[in-house]
Structure 1
Amino acid sequence: MSTPYVDHPLQPGDQAPNMVLDAISREGKIALDDFRGRSPLLIGLFRGLHCPFCRRHVAAMAQLNPALREKGVESLAVVNTPVERARLYFRYHPIPDLLAASDPVRALHRAFGLPIIEFTENETDWPYKVGMDEVMTMRVDRPEELPEPMDPATAGDLLSKKDGYEITEADQQMRIPGHMQLVGHFLLDREGVVRWSFTEVEGEGRNVCRALKPEELMAAASQVAHK
């Protein structure tokens, strides 16, 4: 199946593509068209579970899922992790009632316009290249887990040590040396049209590894639910 590609993240008013992925949280497949005409859908597009930030953002999505469902909004988390590896992880780190799917080839990320960024020494052309000098000025703030705001690399190392997450061969295969998949959330209405988004592309890197603001998502979900 050919993968549609756009060179920038889908914006409000854009039609989301259909894609069929392997389900993690149950057997079989999950298609975006399954929701079309039935309910609004929040899609979280994440890096592989080897990313400590993504593991936390998936868990946060699971926590928001009941409140979204009360508004009639379904949720789907998509990870760049092979399906069996992902199933093993979620067996020990449950995400109750949250639909999840595996996309190891990053097809949906490309279709939603989320690029893979290249790390350079000091050349930045956001969101395609970023210099490590620029990365070191970025700050991730997780007061409940980090002693202070830190650059993404240092914060990620600290969180990984805290988690004790074991990197397997399947995880290694998902890594892109010298590069990183940018990620984000997209809220679709019943017809599959994007109505709200939060991505790492926006803000010239200020959103990298950051969580979305639940109040902004819930406000957007309330508007979508009433249309």
Structure 2
Amino acid sequence: MDENFWLQAWKTNNIGFHWSEANPVLVTYFKELALVKGSRVFVPLCGKTLDIAWLLSNGYHVAGAELVEIAIEQLFIELGVEPKISELGQLKQYSASNIDIFVGNIFDVSSQILGSVDAIYDRAALVALPDEIRHRYTAHLREITGQAPQLLVSYEYDQSLMSGPPFSISDEEVNQHYGDSYDLTLMASTNIPDGLKGKFAATENVWLLTNNVSVPGAKSLA
């Protein structure tokens, strides 16, 4: 991961990827994970996303991982919560009621550090990583979460038009990363109004990754 790129983005507030409300994908499709209240959801490369506030307000526990500490400082300020901060080797852990965020390189987050999770919500991690890191990331994610079910958001566009992030990830690549481990269900595929970053025609894809579960009426690549 290009640590300097993300540090600079947060320091200069160049965070166009940050939404001012909970992502409609989360609000619409999170129920497909069929989690009970109190389930613990892992949000990799979480930033200060308002999706975390939505999850907490709907009765879920949240674990997150984020490279940039500034983002997590702002997250807890915006949540109105004073975190307990502790050192965990190369990581820092910011914790409060029902929330644990691990600050540092996600590859330093082990299953022992993370603890048990019931599901993964990946809106901004896979698409933020260049091709040479994505395979390592998806293998690591499966390992540390015990292959928890996942709601995944990806984008597909002509990569030659823009270097990313977000990077273009085809249906075939999603299958390469996860097809051997999950049943893959394409819940939605939508053209982005005005294009990606207002410039490039792109499709937003919403994936449900489960174990031996089929969803009627959706496209499966398993």
TM-score normalized by the length of structure 1: 0.29
TM-score normalized by the length of structure 2: 0.29
| Structure number with higher strand proportion | 2
